[in-house]
Structure 1
Amino acid sequence: MKKMYLSVVFLLCGAVLHGQQTPSGKVFRAGAATSNITPKIGTSNNGGMQDITIRSIHDETLARGIVLDDGQTRLAIVVSDLCMISREVLDEAKRRASEVTKIPAANMMMSATHTHSGGTACPVFQSEPDKDYGKFLSARIADAVIRANHNLAPARIGWGVGSEPTQVFNRRWKMKPGTPIINPFGKEDRVKMNPGIGNPNLLEPAGPVDPGLPVVSVQTPAGRPIALLANYSLHYVGGNGPGEVSADYYGMFANRMQQMLGAEGQDPAFVTVMSNGTSGNINNIDFGGKAPDAVLPYEKMRAVANVVAAEAFKVYQNIKYQDWISLSSAQKEISLGVRKPAADELVRAKDIISKAKKPIMTSMEEVYAQETMAMKDYPDQVPLILQAFRIGDLAITAIPCEVFVEIGLDIKQRSPFKPTFSISLANGYNGYLPTPEHHKLGGYETWRAKSSYLEVDASTKITASLFELLDKLEAANH
């Protein structure tokens, strides 16, 4: 009898260890892993208006993956240290990862952090992606899912939301009446991006900020950290060495969280993921404040990472965990119009280019003239993937754009799930996403280019579609 009892206990323990459902209840599992996506020295970095040649590697760039499994549904989230990623690269990554793991592609949310010091993964301004790097990225991003799936183990999950208002500032400013703001198309804007600290013509920021810091934590049943997913609406920090590759503050945040949780050198490795929220018009510069002291390369990144990590750690310490939650996802593809140049705009652009010292465009007029010529060959409509994930009572929406903060705040406020947050630059890249009101104000983020081309009402249509997905997830959860 004693022998039989031990055998039953062994079988039950084995079932739990392998994440199988036991007679006592359901089992929640999670796995996490990273995959190195560092580009080759000598290839392209698209962090500026002109292409940058990579000269050295300061810190490795990674694809950071988490897989969650409730016993019926598996979700995969991968955030890569890139400025942005083309849909073609991610579609191939999803195809390969799905083939191996059997996780449906629609259950995979893949995004970029928006570091400006990574490899080029899609065309923007005067940077073109290296074809070999694109193939490499598809394989390595898929590997992040495959490896995380391989690491699935029994887990518990919880979340909380912090606030860190000291590191986010709206970068679009209204200027005093009479201040001329001429854009590269020869027309006048009503706002200026990055107007300069101490500019005497500053009036007020043209929008709000989102200081919210959602933190999702996954642990083993015994409390060993498996993964942490955070989300912060900060464009990026910058300040890297010339031609050097870096994951920016996103990577430094991950390293700092490992230190604070005492999870360095763990096996399997503890994975921290910082995703980009809705930061299309948000950066780390307080234009209304005093000019900061000069800093060394990477010093500002590290300072921001440490401040945000400190707040994330506070949230982490108060998280209440659940042994099991249900998961679901919803996805929709929509088509949106493209703002294409008119005939007179093409004539003007050709004239500017004809007078430029080729092949590199140097002035803003020249850069945007070249962008105008590129936009004439775009289709009239483009497809976009929109997603929503439900993780228990929490929801995540995903948008393939550099999303303005007003949109993210609206989604958080009106979502049927609390909390809800949005991940930008997800499942492709379709440029900036200003609101119609911001289009009227003009400014860099609205200037037509490969980095901003969707129709004026794009944000309204995207938000409406996301609420359809969230309502669908809510209805299915009841």
Structure 2
Amino acid sequence: MLTAGVARRIINPSLDVPHAGWGAQTHIEADSIEADLWTTAAVIGDDKMTAAVLIDVDTSHFSLAQADEIRRQVAERTGFALACVRVSTTHTHSGPMLLSEYYPNHREAIDAYFAHICSATVEAAAEAADQRVAVTVHAGNGECRIGRNRRQRLEDGRMVVGYNPDGITDPIVGAIRFDDTHGHTLLSIVHYACHPTMLGFDNKLFSPEYPGVTKRVVEKLIGGTCLFLQGAAGNIGPGPEGFQTNVAAMKRIGTVLGYEAAKVLTELAAPAAEFRFDRVVESGAPLGLWRELPRTLASLEFEVRSVPVRLPLQTQLSVEEAAVRANGLTQELERLQRSGASGERIREITFQAKRAYFALRRSELYFGKSELNVEAHIVRIGDIALVGLPVEIFNETGLVVREGSPFAHTLVSGYANGWQGYLPTRADYPLGGYEVDTTPFAPGADERLADALIAALCEMKHDD
């Protein structure tokens, strides 16, 4: 018997927490909050006391250490194994900046806010675990075209993050609905691949971006609580309307996705209800009343696996070399901000400083290493497989895994249990561009990951 519980907390940051993290932004703090940011926890399990804790946080991403801390606290409070806990983010680019190395003068505010996220998430997870009820599960797919390929090649050969109308995309909307024994929707999961970058570097609003709109639309239309799982969005964005700081356009695309997800969730077939004659009520005509019987719940295979996958790394700068450049640019940026320099000059150095910080982090984590363990977190619910990865995989890799999976519904997500960078396809390395320039992984890592995931999924299916 499958059980599920869900709970949510609001995690709005104070305005002294640094905002976003765009290399082109000239501000540090936001002006206000566009809509509440949430942390939502769903606990899904079987009658063998096995469970998965799926957490959806409205923020960009967590470091591995931050994700591990949240997982540790949730596991300690709920009693579930740490490997059963998954912390995912929607990857909104209008959320708080949680990496204090960007803004060392705001470290205290960042640390306090992260502690708040941990506390709120633990509370939500504990409440979800306590409120589990028997459920049925239904899954289906829809189509939505808001996600567009963002690897745009200019006439001079430069690869930029923009809009490529001819590039590959994945329009599939994955939708899962969990109903209680009365047929009421308790929980839904919406899965889609598209960077939440409608609100760009000029935006000064904290916002859950389009995933927040999508969740609200789904909840309004079908009830229950909605989780959003960001898909294989490494090279997928919102197209030509992206980066424009147009709140109305952001709400529109979130609503479009929400309507499609709600349509699929509504159309999913529920098990046929059984009725038994109950009694007669005299009402002029004698009325025969029938009583709906409790639904018979089918047994489903349920499993949670944490699968380590070793991926090849590129050679990194020494820590000393990377630190000299990063520290110098950070000091220059602070000097410009104090002196009231032009926005264009601040934007130029901000971009360089944040790119240098990326390089320093890669050096600190990977210098001298040739391979890296990446955790693939897999939850199997009947013929549904939820795959979570701490990387930004390209859409092509997500499609390969889905097509090679033996499960009818395979939802491949990034931004799960931390963030270890982009994972481009082998074919993208010669083309360069932001994702290639900043990845720690060597060409071929995408193929090794896809092969390992498909093998793990086939093994889980074979274990039936």
Q: Distance in 2 between matches of 1:228 and 1:351?
A: 43
CA contact (8 A) 1:329 1:473 kept: no
Q: Given the superposition, is the C-alpha separation of residues 205 and 301 from structure 1 closer, same or farther in structure 2, using an over 3 Å criterion?
A: closer
Q: 2:85 matched to which residue of 1? A: 108
| Cα displacement string for residues 393-428 of structure 1 (whole angstroms, at most 9, x for unaligned residues) | 011111101121011111111111111111110011
CA contact (8 A) 1:227 1:271 kept: yes
1:225 maps onto 2:185 in alignment: yes
* Higher fraction of helix: 2
Q: Distance in 2 between matches of 1:107 and 1:114?
A: 21
Q: 1:29 matched to which residue of 2? A: 3
Paired AA for residue 299 in structure 1 = A
Q: 1:235 matched to which residue of 2? A: 195
Q: Given the superposition, is the C-alpha separation of residues 464 and 217 from structure 1 closer, same or farther in structure 2, using an over 3 Å criterion?
A: same
Pick one of 224, 238, 241 that aligns with 1:284. 238
1:418 maps onto 2:408 in alignment: yes
1:302: how far off?
1.2
SS of 1:143's equivalent?
helix
1:372: how far off?
3.6
CA contact (8 A) 1:353 1:370 kept: no
CA contact (8 A) 2:316 2:366 kept: no
Q: Distance in 1 between matches of 2:30 and 2:435?
A: 26
| Cα displacement string for residues 335-378 of structure 1 (whole angstroms, at most 9, x for unaligned residues) | 445434458x9599849957994436642455434544554333
Paired AA for residue 109 in structure 1 = R
CA contact (8 A) 2:98 2:114 kept: yes
Paired AA for residue 303 in structure 1 = R
Matches within 5 A, 1:9-24: none
Q: 1:207 matched to which residue of 2? A: 167
CA contact (8 A) 2:4 2:133 kept: yes
Tell me the number of residue pairs that the alignment of Structure 1 and Structure 2 aligns. Answer: 415
1:106: how far off?
1.4
Pick one of 394, 408, 414 that aligns with 1:404. 394
Q: Distance in 2 between matches of 1:421 and 1:378?
A: 29
Q: Distance in 1 between matches of 2:46 and 2:359?
A: 48
Q: Distance in 2 between matches of 1:42 and 1:351?
A: 24
Paired AA for residue 151 in structure 1 = Q
1:223: how far off?
1.6
Paired AA for residue 63 in structure 1 = T
Pick one of 97, 106, 109 that aligns with 1:120. 97
Paired AA for residue 339 in structure 1 = Q
1:248 maps onto 2:209 in alignment: yes
The sequence identity of aligned pairs, in percent, is: 22
Q: Distance in 2 between matches of 1:242 and 1:455?
A: 34
Q: 1:156 matched to which residue of 2? A: 136
1:139 maps onto 2:122 in alignment: no
Q: Distance in 2 between matches of 1:103 and 1:354?
A: 44
Paired AA for residue 179 in structure 2 = Q
SS of 2:366's equivalent?
coil
Q: Distance in 2 between matches of 1:355 and 1:66?
A: 40
| Cα displacement string for residues 136-165 of structure 1 (whole angstroms, at most 9, x for unaligned residues) | 222222222211111111222111111112
TM-score under structure 1 length normalisation: 0.79
Q: Given the superposition, is the C-alpha separation of residues 348 and 220 from structure 1 closer, same or farther in structure 2, using an over 3 Å criterion?
A: closer
Pick one of 424, 429, 434 that aligns with 1:439. 429
- The CA RMSD over aligned residues, in Å, is 3.0
Q: Distance in 2 between matches of 1:414 and 1:207?
A: 22
Q: Given the superposition, is the C-alpha separation of residues 316 and 354 from structure 1 closer, same or farther in structure 2, using an over 3 Å criterion?
A: closer
CA contact (8 A) 1:436 1:456 kept: yes
CA contact (8 A) 1:338 1:378 kept: no
1:278: how far off?
0.6
Matches within 5 A, 1:156-195: 156-165=136-145, 167-176=146-155, 179-181=156-158, 191-194=159-162
TM-score under structure 2 length normalisation: 0.81
Q: Distance in 1 between matches of 2:147 and 2:82?
A: 33
Q: 1:314 matched to which residue of 2? A: 263
Matches within 5 A, 1:79-94: 79-94=56-71
